[in-house]
Amino acid sequence: MRDKSKLSERQRNILRFMESYIENFGFPPTIREIGEATNIRSTSVVNYNLNKLVQAGHLARLNRKSRGIRLTSQQPQPVRKARQQMRVPLVGQIVASAPLPIPEDMGHYPDPENAIEVSPALIGNTDPAEIFALRVKGDSMIDAMIQDGDIVLFRKQETASDGDMVAVWLEERGETTLKYFYREGERIRLQPAHPTLEPIYVSAAGCRVQGRVMSVIRTL
Amino acid sequence: MRDKSKLSERQRNILRFMESYIENFGFPPTIREIGEATNIRSTSVVNYNLNKLVQAGHLARLNRKSRGIRLTSQQPQPVRKARQQMRVPLVGQIVASAPLPIPEDMGHYPDPENAIEVSPALIGNTDPAEIFALRVKGDSMIDAMIQDGDIVLFRKQETASDGDMVAVWLEERGETTLKYFYREGERIRLQPAHPTLEPIYVSAAGCRVQGRVMSVIRTL
DNA sequence: ATTGTAAACGAACAAAAATTCTATGTCAAA
DNA sequence: TTTGACATAGAATTTTTGTTCGTTTACAAT
């Protein structure tokens, strides 16, 4: 699959040029630049050979992106991805007495200072941009089997499905709580994680879902 | 010259975005892409800030080249290192009725099938070879604020210091428990994590420390 | 000789992307 | 209050760049 010997002269040239160009400039060349460097007069021929190289597994391309050519050897993307970490912004604390401090725009470039590294497994295949983290302050979330200092990873969402653990702001009580969410006709049952505790019931209007708990991390 | 503190919020955002984009795609973003990612509506403003970053020495640009932006700071190595994941072998389950199934030799060749990826932060600077993971089965560890399905990361050790959360095998009761460890003269106090629960006391002989809890991971 | 196919060319076109221009708002100094 | 530097926005403009398409060449198979 990666046998360079099966490539044509031109294709080997292109590959070599790609390597040195990226080395020099930090970004890939254009089709025309490749053509000039390898003595190919026509962009379409360069394009043709680039596609051959993609077939051969040496390059990856992004359609219709300028300079959207990448050496596969330098970025073993699949491997890297699998072992890669996600940076999740740590945006504040959970306290019972206030709604979650949810950032409007979290971006995909969290500030290194206020971010934690997590394994992608913890957020499943959710878009990382929707994930944020909060540190639990105090023992108010003990019903949810979550203690002081734990870090909770949330997915930003305003609705929930049965069985989700969610953060809800209870209007009448003026507090935030983490419970399992079950819709029961008109009302909603919020079930604590701790098996001996009783559920509470609220009207759909009276509770505002703020996020779904994806995972909890405790470091001792 | 390279003092990030003198940069504006937007400029820091741009820099961070550049880093992650290049990391992901292998080539630099366009001005428009930078704008979208950092919530700047106007390409000219992005351009303006890019020029500022060039002045500040963080970027280099090539005029009239698409994606002709390059980070001057090229130390991907330390970053890369810091972002590595650890693979920790997941060697079995915790049940109250039996000692921990601790592997004699864990090696550093965790079976991909039975390993989990964790962030290095979770195990501090402990030698990764000493770390193993167990999945909690049942609600027997509820005193420790740990529930069914949680994954506990242990460091293999037979002794403990005050305040450590440890897994101990209680000879006379025939059970495994997770408690905070305190030496009190001849006897040992084992304190549940849950604040309302009472400690238990055992003799040093009657309890066998099996490992120290480094962290707990819960996925929902 | 004929046909089919891989490889090449160049021009035209369309899309992407950078640059430039004008206008507006902010804020501290004069 | 006025001024000017700085920062922002929106849009127009120009340049760069990728894609498509008709055509040609070389060569091996029929």
Boundary of a domain, candidates A31, A52, A78: A78
Q: Are residues A17 and A118 in the same domain?
A: no
Of A71, A85, A165, the CB nearest to B85: A85
CB-facing half-sphere around the CA of B73: CA atoms within 13 A: 17
What is the model's pLDDT at position A197? 86
Q: Are residues B63 and B104 in the same domain?
A: no
Distance CA(B41)–CA(B143), nearest Å, equals: 53
Looking at residue B211, the DSSP 8-state letter turns out to be E
Q: Are residues A52 and A116 in the same domain?
A: no
Identify the CATH number of the domain in which residue A126 sits. 2.10.109.10
Distance CA(B207)–CA(B175), nearest Å, equals: 10
User: Is residue B14 in a domain?
Assistant: yes
pLDDT digits (tens, 9 = 90+) for A145-160: 998 999 999 888 888 8
What is the model's pLDDT at position A213? 92
Instruction: State whether B27 and A213 contact (CB < 8 Å).
Output: no
Question: What is the distance in angstroms measured between the alpha-carbon CA of A59 and the sugar C1' of D23?
Answer: 29
Q: Are residues B73 and B123 in the same domain?
A: no
C-alpha gyration radius of chain A: 26
Nucleotides of C under 7 A from a protein CB: 7-12, 15-22
A43 CB and strand C closer than 7 A: yes
User: Is residue A4 in a domain?
Assistant: no
User: Is residue A63 in a domain?
Assistant: yes
Q: Are residues B190 and B99 in the same domain?
A: yes
Residue A12 in 3-state DSSP? helix
Boundary of a domain, candidates A42, A58, A78: A78
Neighbours of A219 (CB within 10 A): 17
Question: What is the distance in angstroms measured between the alpha-carbon CA of A68 and the sugar C1' of C20?
Answer: 26
Q: Are residues A70 and A93 in the same domain?
A: no
pLDDT digits (tens, 9 = 90+) for A67-102: 888 887 654 433 344 445 677 878 788 877 677 776
Q: What is the mean pLDDT of residues A172-190?
A: 88
User: Is residue A2 in a domain?
Assistant: no
Boundary of a domain, candidates A35, A60, A78: A78
Q: Are residues B116 and B168 in the same domain?
A: yes
B177 closest CA partner among B205, B131, B211: B211
Cβ-contact A150, B218 below 8 angstroms:
no
Instruction: State whether B16 and A109 contact (CB < 8 Å).
Output: yes
Distance CA(B168)–CA(A107), nearest Å, equals: 44
Tokens 């892409």, residue?
Answer: B33
The one catalytic residue in A81, A179, A203, A215 is A179
Q: Are residues A124 and A28 in the same domain?
A: no
Note down the domain range covering A19.
9-78
Distance CA(B83)–CA(B158), nearest Å, equals: 31
What is the model's pLDDT at position B81? 41
* Average pLDDT value for chain A: 81
What is the model's pLDDT at position B2? 54
Distance CA(A125)–CA(A122), nearest Å, equals: 9
Q: Provide the greatest CA pair distance for chain A.
A: 77
The one catalytic residue in B6, B81, B161, B179 is B179
Residue B13 in 3-state DSSP? helix
Identify the CATH number of the domain in which residue A47 sits. 1.10.10.10
What is the model's pLDDT at position A110? 56
The one catalytic residue in A66, A140, A156, A161 is A140
* Burial grade of B128 (CB within 10 A; 0-12, 13-18, 19 or more): middle
Distance CA(A144)–CA(A197), nearest Å, equals: 10
User: Is residue B2 in a domain?
Assistant: no
Distance CA(B13)–CA(A3), nearest Å, equals: 42
Q: Are residues B74 and B105 in the same domain?
A: no
What is the model's pLDDT at position B79? 36
Cβ-contact A21, A33 below 8 angstroms:
yes
Contacts of B147 in chain A (CB under 8 A): 145, 193
Tokens of A84: 């890669």
In angstroms, the first-to-last Cα distance of chain A is 48
Sequence-distant (≥ 6) Cβ neighbours of residue A132 within 8 angstroms: A88, A89, A90, A91, A102, A103, A106, A153, A154, A156, A211
A49 CB and strand C closer than 7 A: yes
User: Is residue A59 in a domain?
Assistant: yes
Number of domains in chain B: 2
What is the model's pLDDT at position A82? 44
User: Is residue B172 in a domain?
Assistant: yes
pLDDT for residue A182 is more than 80: yes
Instruction: State whether B117 and A116 contact (CB < 8 Å).
Output: no
* Catalytic-residue membership of A179: yes
Which amino acid is located at B184 in the chain? E
Which amino acid is located at A66 in the chain? S
pLDDT exceeding 70 applies to what percent of chain A? 83
Residues in chain A: 220
What is the model's pLDDT at position B151? 93
User: Is residue A177 in a domain?
Assistant: yes
Helical segments of A84-182, H only = none
Residue B12 in 3-state DSSP? helix
Which amino acid is located at A42 in the chain? S
Distance CA(B28)–CA(B31), nearest Å, equals: 10
Distance CA(A81)–CA(A128), nearest Å, equals: 13
Q: Are residues A201 and A140 in the same domain?
A: yes
Q: Are residues A60 and A132 in the same domain?
A: no
Q: Are residues B75 and B88 in the same domain?
A: no
Complex confidence, ipTM: 0.65
Lowest mean pLDDT among A13-22, A123-132, A184-193: A123-132
At residue A154's C-alpha, the angle toward residues A152 and A160, to 5°, is: 130
Mean pLDDT in each 10-residue stretch from start to end of chain B (220 residues)?
Answer: 68 86 84 87 91 88 89 51 66 76 58 72 78 85 89 90 90 86 91 86 88 91
A72 closest CA partner among A60, A56, A62: A60
Distance CA(A49)–CA(B138), nearest Å, equals: 59
Tokens 């391309």, residue?
Answer: A61
